[in-house]
A and B are shown apart, each in its own frame.
Chain A
Amino acid sequence: MTDLRATALIARRELGAWLRSPGGWLIAAVMLLVDGLLFNAYAVGSGAKLSTQVLQDFFYFTAGTTMIASVLLSMRLIAEERQAGTLPLLMSAPVSEGAVVGGKFISALIVLSALTLATLYMPALIFLNGKVSLGHIAGGYLGLLLLGATTLAIGTLGSVLGRTQLVAGVLSSAMITTLLLCWILARVSDSPLKEILRAMALFDAHFKPFQRGLLRLSDVVFFLSVAWLALIAATRALRRERWGG
């Protein structure tokens, strides 16, 4: 079986498991409910607010809920198999570690993307009642999807490293929080570490431009490269677990 077919097969199987599980729907409903409440309480508020500001606030907190959702979705990917004792069975199948990690990541990414895009009705309301550009909405969602993919990849790495789902969740959260807080570390560091830490700030340096409607190649490359690196690391870690060394 080629790696591509194996990846697609695992992704399809995982996706089916998501759709059949009430837990997946519950996570989606809760995230959208929280998003809706934050949209009313925080973004729209009660005073007069410019529509661009409302949209920016929407992307601000939706980035938070997206990251939380990605940790919740990813923590079970490998750790659940390990906890349930089905990982050796999966590892004994004629599929590469890359296919396992890739398939599981893609399935979670599809779920997360659907969950993120399901919030579209909120900016659509701003679009109808205020004055924002479609480009700003599209740009913000591109940022959300890239941020979600990156945190999901980091979560996949956490899931490979963690013995249980809980440990996987804690590990993923710790890694994501470290990247989120890099900007604080950058403040108290000297060059060239300062520049490196500032460039690694997941939200502050790379998501805020999307939030403001500014698309930068450097941000897109950052998210994609970090996601790729996390998946490579997850594959290496799974290979080490499979073959030792």
Chain B
Amino acid sequence: MSHRFSQPSSSWPMALLLAGLTLVLVAERVLVDETAHVVVGWTGGLAILAAVIWRAVAWRRAHGRTRLAECMLWSGHLGVLGSLLLFDLQAPGGIAVLGLAAGDPEATVLTVLWLVVLAMSLTATLAMERAWLRMPIGPAVEPRRLRSAAFGAMSLTCAVIFVFGINYAATRKDIKRDVTFFKTARPSGTTLSLVTQLEEPITVLLFFAPVSDVLPQIRPYFDALAAATPHLHVAVRDHALEPVLARRFQVRDNGFVVLVRGVIPAADATATAPHGQFEVGEEVDTARRAVRKLDATFQERFSKLTQPPRRVRFTAGHRERSKQGEKTDRAGDRLEVVHRLLTRFNIGSDGLGLGDGLAKAVPAGTTAVIVAGPRSRFLAEEVESLTRYVEGGGRLLLLLDPVQDASDDGLDVLLQRFGVRRLAGTVLSQGHHMRSAFNKADRSLVYSNTFTSHPSVSSASRNSLQVAALLTRGAAFERTAKVPPGVLVSFPMRSSPDFWRDLDADLDLGPREALAALNLMVAVRVTNLAPPTGVPSQAGTAPLAKQAAANGEATAPEGRIVIIGDGDFATDALIKSDGNALVFVDSLRWLIGEQKVTGDLSSEEDVPIEHRKDTDRLWFYATTFAVPLPLLLLGLWIGRRRRSGGR
């Protein structure tokens, strides 16, 4: 039995094919000149055609198994040529010939198809050519090896195409989730309390594109607010679709939240209602910081929009603690933090001294007066003015030192008038004090977390396990023997029973001094105060009920006073203590009539990592050696055990 074999053809057709492909690529991607593009492109195409014909001729001339192998190689070359034809068909000219438009699905299929056919046929041809080169002798030609190589290459190419396809689909689907914050989609109790007190409608316009990634992050927040009150309406608007409405509210782009008084119908672009706005941003990355502070920002803008302008006045001229402080004051003795807090609650602040008319009357439009740790005496006229102010429904916050510290600030007359007496001596404790100087003086740096349920300490009371209020050289108070009718005195913060008043300034518990639970804070309500005996009823001192009746009001305004036994209570040094901050804010809110509004902000704002020498050292050793060292020792032990023949 005789076998006829023919020698395999050379690899020149493959080289010609690759050269042709390179020329086509250069013509399409590099050459700009039209003539050069056509000449080089056609040369490449002809080279590929020549390679295909060459292979076809070789196939026709071959015999036996070589013929089958040549046929397979020719098929690969033909595939490459076919892909070029598909490439021409998906070009603008080809699409026009087929009667398709550029965006048609058929045109897109052609674009993908030519790439797939080219990748499959080229890799299969290259793999077969490689296998082909290894069997140059006729009898050694094994078509099965070529087929195996072609299938291997094509399956790998299929895998690559699949990877590209699935990645393209995943990118188009674009599902993403930000896991850096969670609670921003939930309003805080404070904000909910604010919106539930709404008596007129407010519309929240969310200027976002419907496909925005940020909108789903903030929408639940506003939906929760809208669910809490029928007066709050939420609507999403696209800046691009409603440019007139956007211009009306000075919104320059999507990513803004606008708060408007009243109800804004869908296409009402003529609204002139008062409004406020803030920017959140439309991209997830850039909006992050704003979304984290959403609750605080909304609360601030909402307060500005819905609440009347409020102004507190800090008395001046009696060496009080102030924002600027005195020359001898340390940095922590100032009231900068308090002023920042007031700004946050949309409360303006001013000074109130003799020049502002304190000796005559507290100016109209004053929401509350704050006396922050005076160290020199008030004039009798000033005290009288403050007294009249409270009797007329005014609100007063007194931060007072003990009498010997304050060198008699002259305010005891006012306290007595409202049924409160400041007790002599500095408040000390042996058990409830901080460590600072590590001597007896530390006994005056006391703290207390004994709060009642009074609204002026509601947040502190709720968090009394976590926070305590600090007092430095504090004062204590008690009721006077005879509290005037119409005055209600309560003590929201008391000390533990191991406190005493240091009457002889020796910082020790002396024989004249006794341990007792002291009243460190007083809250006074003045509802219907009769004029003091022997004092004629004047315009400023008229009983509240009479005054209200004269003004045609159904109910009398209520005067309120909060007295805290420490002039330094709200200074920057002490208000850093959460207990002091909560007591101060709650007291202020109770004074200005927002006692229902208590609670913390819902904020996911980041906090910096604090560095301390001792903790830094702990961090360093814990993170550097705590885990690697045992692992290394374990490895050494295993190595040693293996060397010693153990298992």
Chain A residues with a Cβ under 8 A of chain B: 19-26, 28-30, 32-33, 36-37, 39-40, 44, 46-54, 118-119, 121-122, 125-126, 129-133, 135-136, 138-139, 190, 199, 209, 212-218, 220-222, 225-226, 228-229, 232-233, 236, 239-240, 243-245
Contacts and interface: CB of A to CB of B under 8 A. Distances in A.
B609 A54 contact: yes
B160 A229 contact: yes
B605 to A, nearest CB: 8
A126 B152 contact: no
B181 A133 contact: yes
17 contacts: A22-B638, A22-B642, A25-B635, A25-B638, A29-B628, A46-B611, A47-B611, A48-B608, A51-B609, A135-B182, A213-B180, A214-B284, A216-B176, A225-B167, A228-B163, A239-B152, A245-B131
Interface stretch (B514-522, B564-572, B618-626): B618-626
B171 interface: yes
A236 B158 CA distance: 13
A interface majority secondary structure: helix
A220 B173 CA distance: 13
B623 A121 contact: yes
B170 A218 contact: yes
A3 B320 CA distance: 84
B635 A214 contact: no
B636 A22 contact: yes
A49 B609 contact: yes
B631 A28 contact: yes
Chain B interface size, as a band, is: 35 or more
B239 to A, nearest CB: 24
Given A20-B638, A36-B628, A225 B163 contact: yes
Given A22-B638, A121-B623, A240-B152, 5 more contacts: A23-B635, A51-B606, A130-B607, A133-B181, A232-B155
Interface string B633-645: 0111011001000
A245 B152 contact: yes
A32 B609 contact: no
Contacts of A22: 635-636, 638-639, 642
Given A51-B608, A51-B609, A225-B166, A32 B631 contact: yes
Contact of A131 (B606, B611, B615, B622): B606
Contacts of A226: 163
Interface in B138-172: 145, 148-149, 152, 155-156, 159-160, 162-163, 166-167, 170-171
B624 A36 contact: yes
B606 A50 contact: yes
Interface string B570-584: 000000000000000
A149 B177 CA distance: 22
A229 B639 CA distance: 37
Contacts of A213: 178-180
A44 B606 contact: no
Contact of B159 (A54, A212, A232): A232
A40 B180 contact: no
B623 A39 contact: yes
Contact of A245 (B149, B179, B615, B623): B149
Q: Which 5 A/B pairs are nearest by Cβ-Cβ distance? A: A25-B635, A135-B179, A22-B639, A213-B180, A36-B624
Contacts of A233: 156, 159
Contact of B175 (A24, A47, A217, A222): A217
Contacts, number: 170
User: In the complex, which of the residues A20, A40, A245 has the most CB atoms of chain B within 10 Å of its own CB atom?
Assistant: A245
Contact of B635 (A26, A131, A228): A26
Contacts of A136: 179-180
Nearest to A129: B609
A40 B162 CA distance: 43
Nearest to A19: B638
Contacts of A131: 604, 606-607
Contacts of B607: 50-51, 130-131
Contact of B623 (A36, A228, A236, A244): A36
Contacts of A21: 638
Given A33-B624, A44-B619, A129 B610 contact: yes
A149 B604 CA distance: 33
Contacts of A245: 131, 145, 148-149, 152
A217 B182 CA distance: 19
Given A20-B638, A218-B174, A221-B170, A52 B623 contact: no
A48 B170 CA distance: 39
A28 B628 CA distance: 7
B176 A215 contact: yes
Interface in B11-28: none
Nearest to A136: B180
Contacts of B155: 232, 236
B642 A20 contact: yes
B285 interface: yes
B437 interface: no
B32 interface: no
Contact of A29 (B173, B174, B631): B631
Contacts of B611: 46-48
A186 to B, nearest CB: 15
A121 B642 contact: no
Contacts of A217: 170, 173-176
A33 B609 contact: no
A133 B182 contact: yes
Contacts of A129: 609-610, 615
Nearest to A27: B635
B179 A133 contact: yes
Contacts of B604: 131, 133
Contacts of A232: 155-156, 159
Contacts of B159: 228-229, 232-233
Contacts of B629: 29
B364 interface: no
B619 A216 contact: no
Contacts of B148: 243, 245
User: In the complex, which of the residues A22, A44, A220 has the most CB atoms of chain B within 10 Å of its own CB atom?
Assistant: A22
A228 B626 CA distance: 36
B628 A33 contact: yes
B609 A44 contact: yes
User: In the complex, which of the residues B177, B631, B636 has the most CB atoms of chain A within 10 Å of its own CB atom?
Assistant: B631
A36 B635 contact: no
A212 B287 CA distance: 13
Given A130-B607, A131-B607, A225-B166, A214 B178 contact: yes
A21 B634 CA distance: 11
B241 interface: no
B429 to A, nearest CB: 31
A244 B134 CA distance: 11
